[in-house]
Structure 1
Amino acid sequence: MIDLRSDTVTKPTEKMLEAMFQAKVGDDVYKEDATINLLEERIADMFGMEQALFFPTGTMANQTAIKLHTQPGDQVICDKDAHIYHYEGGGASFNSGVSCKLVHGDKGMFASGQVIEAINPPDFYHSPLTALVEVENTANRGGGSCWDFEELKKIRAICDQNHLGFHLDGARLWNALIAKNESPKQYGQLFDTISVCLSKGLGCPVGSVLVGKKELMKNAMRIRKILGGGMRQVGYLGAAGLYALDNHVERLKEDHQRAKEIEMALNKLDMVKLVTPVETNIVIFELNQKEDEKTFLNHLQENKIVLSGMGNGKLRIVTHLDYTQEMHERFLEVLSKLSAY
Structure 2
Amino acid sequence: MRIDLRSDTVTKPSEGMLNAIMNAKVGDDVYKEDETVNALEERVAKLFGKSHALFFPSGTMANQTAIKLHTNPGDQVICDKYAHIFNYEGGGASFNSGVSCNLIDGDRGMFTAAQVIEAINPPDFYHSPLTTLVEIENTTNKGGGACWNFNELKKIKEVCTTNNLRFHLDGARLWNALVETKETAEDYGNLFDTISVCFSKGLGCPVGSVLVGDEHLMKNAIRIRKILGGGMRQVGFLAAAALYALDNNMEALKEDHIKAKEIASVLEKADYIAKVESVETNIVIFTLNSKYSDETFLNILKSKDIHLSNMGQGKLRIVTHLDYTQSMHKVVLNELSVL
- CA deviation string 1:23-77 (max 9, x = no partner): 0000000000000000000000000011000000000000000000000000000
Query: 1:281 Cα deviation (Å)?
Result: 0.1
Q: Determine the structure 2 residue equivalent to 1:208.
A: 209
Asked if 1:328 is matched to 2:329, the reply is: yes
Supply the distance in 1 between the matched residues of 2:31 and 2:299 (Cα, whole angstroms). Answer: 52
Query: 1:294 Cα deviation (Å)?
Result: 3.2
- 8 Å Cα contact 2:272/2:291 also seen in 1: no
2:293 alignment partner, SS class: helix
Query: 1:291 Cα deviation (Å)?
Result: 3.8
- CA deviation string 1:257-303 (max 9, x = no partner): 00000000111111110011000000000001384323321220111
Amino acid at match of 1:48: G
Q: Determine the structure 2 residue equivalent to 1:69.
A: 70
Unaligned runs of 5+ residues in structure 2 are: none
Supply the distance in 2 between the matched residues of 1:294 and 1:244 (Cα, whole angstroms). Answer: 36
Asked if 1:179 is matched to 2:177, the reply is: no
Q: Determine the structure 2 residue equivalent to 1:191.
A: 192
Q: Determine the structure 2 residue equivalent to 1:285.
A: 286
Q: Determine the structure 2 residue equivalent to 1:94.
A: 95
Supply the distance in 2 between the matched residues of 1:233 and 1:4 (Cα, whole angstroms). Answer: 32
Query: 1:83 Cα deviation (Å)?
Result: 0.2
Please identify, of 294-303 and 225-234, the stretch whose mean Cα deviation from structure 2 is larger.
294-303
Supply the distance in 2 between the matched residues of 1:87 and 1:236 (Cα, whole angstroms). Answer: 27
- CA deviation string 1:4-34 (max 9, x = no partner): 0000000000000000100000000000000
Unaligned runs of 5+ residues in structure 1 are: none
Q: Determine the structure 1 residue equivalent to 2:257.
A: 256
Asked if 1:114 is matched to 2:115, the reply is: yes
Q: Determine the structure 2 residue equivalent to 1:124.
A: 125
Amino acid at match of 2:59: G
- 8 Å Cα contact 1:77/1:100 also seen in 2: yes
Supply the distance in 2 between the matched residues of 1:71 and 1:58 (Cα, whole angstroms). Answer: 21
Amino acid at match of 2:193: D
TM-score (norm 1): 0.98
Supply the distance in 2 between the matched residues of 1:189 and 1:181 (Cα, whole angstroms). Answer: 15
Q: Determine the structure 2 residue equivalent to 1:217.
A: 218
Supply the distance in 1 between the matched residues of 2:180 and 2:230 (Cα, whole angstroms). Answer: 32
Please identify, of 290-299 and 32-41, the stretch whose mean Cα deviation from structure 2 is larger.
290-299
Amino acid at match of 1:315: L
Amino acid at match of 1:124: F
Supply the distance in 1 between the matched residues of 2:311 and 2:305 (Cα, whole angstroms). Answer: 20
- CA deviation string 1:154-181 (max 9, x = no partner): 0000000000000000000000000113
Supply the distance in 1 between the matched residues of 2:23 and 2:179 (Cα, whole angstroms). Answer: 29
Q: Over the residues paired in the alignment, what is the CA RMSD in angstroms?
A: 0.7
Amino acid at match of 1:210: L
Supply the distance in 2 between the matched residues of 1:268 and 1:13 (Cα, whole angstroms). Answer: 35
- CA deviation string 1:93-146 (max 9, x = no partner): 000000000000000000000000000000000000000000000000000000
Amino acid at match of 2:29: D
Supply the distance in 1 between the matched residues of 2:28 and 2:137 (Cα, whole angstroms). Answer: 32
Amino acid at match of 2:30: V
Asked if 1:84 is matched to 2:63, the reply is: no
Q: Would the alpha carbon gap of residues 129 and 290 (structure 1) be closer, same or farther in structure 2, given more than 3 Å must change?
A: farther
1:242 alignment partner, SS class: helix
- 8 Å Cα contact 1:290/1:313 also seen in 2: no
Q: Determine the structure 2 residue equivalent to 1:140.
A: 141
1:189 alignment partner, SS class: helix
Supply the distance in 1 between the matched residues of 2:295 and 2:273 (Cα, whole angstroms). Answer: 13
Supply the distance in 2 between the matched residues of 1:24 and 1:297 (Cα, whole angstroms). Answer: 44
Supply the distance in 2 between the matched residues of 1:273 and 1:240 (Cα, whole angstroms). Answer: 40
Amino acid at match of 1:270: D
Identity of aligned residues (%): 72
Q: Determine the structure 1 residue equivalent to 2:26.
A: 25
- 8 Å Cα contact 2:63/2:196 also seen in 1: yes
- 8 Å Cα contact 1:271/1:292 also seen in 2: no
Amino acid at match of 1:31: K
TM-score (norm 2): 0.99
